[in-house]
Structure 1
Amino acid sequence: MSFFGKNIRKIRSVRSLSQQAFADLFDLKRGTLGAYEEGRSEPKIDTIITIAKYFSIPIDELLTKELTVNRLLKFKGNLTTEQEEFVKEQFANIPCIIKNNSNDYLHNHDKEEFIKRMPCLNLPISKEVNYRGYTVDNLEMSSNDKGLFPKDVVIGEFIPEKNYRNLDNGTLVLVVLENQLVLRLLYITNGILVLRAEHKNVEEISVDLKEVKEIWRICYVFYHRLPVMGEALEDKLLYLEREMEKIRSRM
């Protein structure tokens, strides 16, 4: 039995990489990587070789042994045996789009000097992934008292253009267009990007994929307000109560 799936899942954990980020490194679909990790599919030999070389792990160990965290930390490639260095390595400076620089970002998103001057968040996540922060400034992704509200902060990982079509429909993304920044749910059909809001009174936006400047897949959210605890549980109880009523009515 191959240990490939277990080992790449452990590598992701050690390197603080999401499935999407890991898949993008090797031009894979996230669903394909998930199938590898769950043992539902075996990778091609070229994929095994590429991943083994990237992380400097012997192929036989990647396939035939369940690698431990300590063992993984001994392989090179930005992994270290010193715990203090390892923890420090996980902190990344994340440039943030805020109200004061959002218009400038539209015109300078591809200029390195401008990006360097942006305010940054310092978070214990992988430095190997290109992240961007964004401060929510509207109610488009809110529904009643749930969702995202102004001053909430989202963190997105950069999605290369070649991987746009690998994104799952319904993924929350920050999209950079010619004249606006849009935080919405993404849907792609026949080369058309549809961006849908959670707010019922906000119309969807449809653009050709060729008009897109950048896409950032949202992977972290920081709420400005303290979420009301227990709402999810109350919703579940209400749902169960309604289902029980349906069952009683049939008896």
Structure 2
Amino acid sequence: MFFSKNLRYIREEKYKITQGALAEILGVSRSALSAYEDGRAEPRILLLIKIAQYFAVSIDEMVNVNFAEAEQAYVTRIEQLNKYITAHQIKINRVQTEHSTPKDYLELVPQKATAGYTQGFANPEYLNTLPKYKIPFLSKGKIYRAFEIDGDSMLPLQSGAIVIGEKIANWDDLTSGQTCVVVSKHEGIVLKKVYKRLFDYGKLLLKSENISYRPYEIEATEILELWKFVAHISHCFPTDAPDIEDIKFAFDRIEFQLNQTRLNLLGQASNELKE
């Protein structure tokens, strides 16, 4: 438990308030507050709630998270993120090759080639092995690439559909909620709606059109490439009607999450009563 260390850390380092001033705000003696910070005593639950509310943190964080270590990890992550945000281009896309300039054709990354793409996408020799096509309706002066999608996470687009993406070279060009082909270090290639949480969390939120798939976050520093959706080619006529099984699965997932939250709250209440 980190309560005593956290109390001293957040008071001195974050809020820069004296023991006497905080003790007066909390309605306790300075000696009592000193005992809490030294770990010689623990506050009652009502006082613990008051402390957490004053510092705008949860009781769980106050007790179980080492603020000093978490702060250092956060600072390190933000420093890494700033290298991406302040750069003119996303990190890996700064590699200049003949394939990073506009041309009158685009490369297609078929499903069977997706595994190697995260390693070879900046390598001209690898890109030369990909099939190339000319699409007449695309705007001039921009960089495009086509990807064959796999799975049903982006219904109504079916597995096997070809998605054409326009290269996003910097974070400012990404509009939150935009559908993009996301190429990342560990997730590979996925087609998702992308929501920016860069400055608040240093992450992107990826969401599927298929409601049976749960949204998830990814570190911005994991991103290798982003391609804005501009068109698709498919042998199936898309339909907006969700599958009834997908709806049922989504409701089951939500019900499970609500039950887990309820159990956690009951457990916390039980622990507080015991104290």
TM-score of the superposition, structure 1-length normalised?
Answer: 0.50
Greater gyration radius = 2
More helix per residue: 1 or 2?
2
- Which has the larger strand fraction? 1
User: TM-score, with normalisation over the residues of structure 2?
Assistant: 0.46
